[in-house]
Amino acid sequence: MTQPNALWYTRCPVPTTSGIAQHFRWLHAEFAQAGIALESIRAAENKAVRRSHYDHTHPNMFREGGNVPPLWARGLGRDTVVVGITWVDEEQLILVRADSAIETVEQLRGARLGLPLHDSEIVDIGRAQDLRGLLTALEIGGIGRDEVTIVDLGGGDFDLREQRDGERVHLGAEALLSGKADAIYAKGAVSATLIEKHGFRAILDINAQDNPLARVNAGTPRPITVDGTLAREHPEIVARYLAVLQKTAEWAATHPEEVVRAIAAETHASEAAVRRGFGPHLHERFTVALSPLNVQGLRQQKDFLVAEGFIQDFDFDNWIDPAPLALAADIAPGILLDTIPSLESADA
């Protein structure tokens, strides 16, 4: 079967193993040896190609990142498979203004909770994410869903074409600053950045919950999905991609400062925000695995999205393909990484 001359990859602007591997061009270098170019979905000029970050329609494509788009795409019948999962815990905060009278999550009863509502043909990722975070907070506080007011925060369409941080608009932050909402959900480097910029105060960190399944949301766990045709016809290519990620995770575990710098570039956040948003053990969290916990967390997120009407249901078990990751374990020892990190990300 003819080998593809190009592979496409995409990752969310969050901590991902793929993000580190492309940042230092390790994926590019590995496949260049076989005469295969590595192209970025997010850097594409064509918006239809960039949209594949969400709908997974582009051939020969790998994706690592938030779980809502790949779950949505699979529910629509997209031919994709999950070949690995990462679990990077992150700060998940309920934020209020510094001058708010709300001090604890139990005091959210009767509050107005800001919830994004995007005008988009794709699944509303921001709404799904924030709704799950807010509902988890209400459950922790012993508050019923009907005891709060949801305030819809209108927004535009999604397009992951790179923007600098100063150009981003955060609907929840605007709502808090204007007084339209009393509390919002934010996570990771975004939550840390909002605190830095606006002095917001956290009344709850969902990430402090002991039960990892209580921390499941759009960003945790993060599946690695691949075009089904590529997985069936070229399993060795998929395995090699995963092998580079496994070697990247090994490298990351002993290079905490370099990881922080890479993730700061990936998220367009300060290094301080990355450290706060993802904690001191971030560099140890990039292993790709299909462990029972990882799979259970992803299944739980699928069930939530189906129940809330964000996605269509599908056969979850048939979506998981462990074979490439098993083959990657045999390939990884032969992968050599250039250990001299680049100063800038490989693409915009």
Return the axis-axis angle of helices 235-252 and 323-331, rounded to nearest 10°: 60
Tally of domains within the chain: 2
Question: Is residue 309 situated within a structural domain?
Answer: yes
Q: Do both 67 and 105 map to the same domain?
A: no
Q: Please tell me the predicted confidence (pLDDT) of residue 301.
A: 98
Neighbours of 128 (CB within 10 A): 26
Range of the domain at 118: 92-215
Q: Do both 101 and 177 map to the same domain?
A: yes
Q: Please tell me the predicted confidence (pLDDT) of residue 281.
A: 95
Question: What digits encode the pLDDT tens for the residues 242-292?
Answer: 999 999 999 999 999 999 999 999 988 899 999 999 999 999 999 999 999
Question: Is residue 345 situated within a structural domain?
Answer: no
> Encoding tokens for residue 195?
């605190």
Closest CA to 193 of 272, 95, 306: 272
Q: Do both 110 and 83 map to the same domain?
A: no
Q: Please tell me the predicted confidence (pLDDT) of residue 338.
A: 77
| Mean per-residue pLDDT of the chain | 93
109 neighbors 314 (Cβ within 8 angstroms):
no
324 upstream amide cis, omega within 30 of 0: no
CA angle 252, 257, 260 (to 5 degrees): 80
Q: Do both 194 and 104 map to the same domain?
A: yes
131 neighbors 115 (Cβ within 8 angstroms):
yes
- DSSP-derived letter for residue 25 is T
Question: Is residue 100 situated within a structural domain?
Answer: yes
Question: Is residue 343 situated within a structural domain?
Answer: no
Q: Do both 80 and 105 map to the same domain?
A: no
Give me the sheet containing 6-11, strands edge to edge: 37-40, 6-11, 61-64, 222-227, 80-86
Helix/strand/coil for 42: coil
Question: What digits encode the pLDDT tens for the residues 34-92?
Answer: 999 999 999 999 999 999 999 999 999 999 999 999 999 999 999 999 999 999 999 99
Q: What single-letter amino acid sits at 124?
A: D
> Encoding tokens for residue 264?
């700061």
Q: Which of 215, 240, 270 is the last residue of a domain?
A: 215
Q: Which of 215, 248, 282 is the last residue of a domain?
A: 215
Q: Do both 323 and 228 map to the same domain?
A: yes
Question: What digits encode the pLDDT tens for the residues 219-241?
Answer: 999 999 999 999 999 999 999 99
Q: What single-letter amino acid sits at 343?
A: L
Question: Is residue 255 situated within a structural domain?
Answer: yes
Question: Is residue 342 situated within a structural domain?
Answer: no
25 neighbors 342 (Cβ within 8 angstroms):
yes
Burial class (CB in 10 A: 0-12, 13-18, 19+), 108: buried
Q: Do both 288 and 188 map to the same domain?
A: no
In sequence order, what are the residues at sequence separation of 6 or more whose Cβ sits closer than 8 angstroms to the Cβ of residue 146? none
Question: What digits encode the pLDDT tens for the residues 131-162?
Answer: 999 999 999 999 999 999 999 998 776 655 54
Q: Do both 198 and 247 map to the same domain?
A: no
In sequence order, what are the residues at sequence separation of 6 or more whose Cβ sits closer than 8 angstroms to the Cβ of residue 333? none
Q: Do both 173 and 71 map to the same domain?
A: no
Neighbours of 45 (CB within 10 A): 7
pTM (predicted TM-score): 0.93
Q: Which of 165, 185, 215 is the last residue of a domain?
A: 215
Question: Is residue 339 situated within a structural domain?
Answer: no
Q: Do both 141 and 184 map to the same domain?
A: yes
Q: What are the angstrom distances between the C-alpha of 60 and each of 37, 57, 176, 332?
A: 11, 9, 42, 21
In sequence order, what are the residues at sequence separation of 6 or more whose Cβ sits closer than 8 angstroms to the Cβ of residue 158? 54, 118, 120, 122, 125
Q: Please tell me the predicted confidence (pLDDT) of residue 167.
A: 46
Q: Do both 57 and 100 map to the same domain?
A: no
Question: Is residue 254 situated within a structural domain?
Answer: yes
CATH classification at residue 169: 3.40.190.10
Q: Do both 75 and 133 map to the same domain?
A: no
**Ramachandran quadrant class, 150 (left: phi over 0; alpha: psi -120 to 50; beta: rest):** beta
Higher local confidence (pLDDT), 91 or 341 = 91
At residue 348 the predicted structure's pLDDT band, cuts being 50, 70 and 90, is: very low
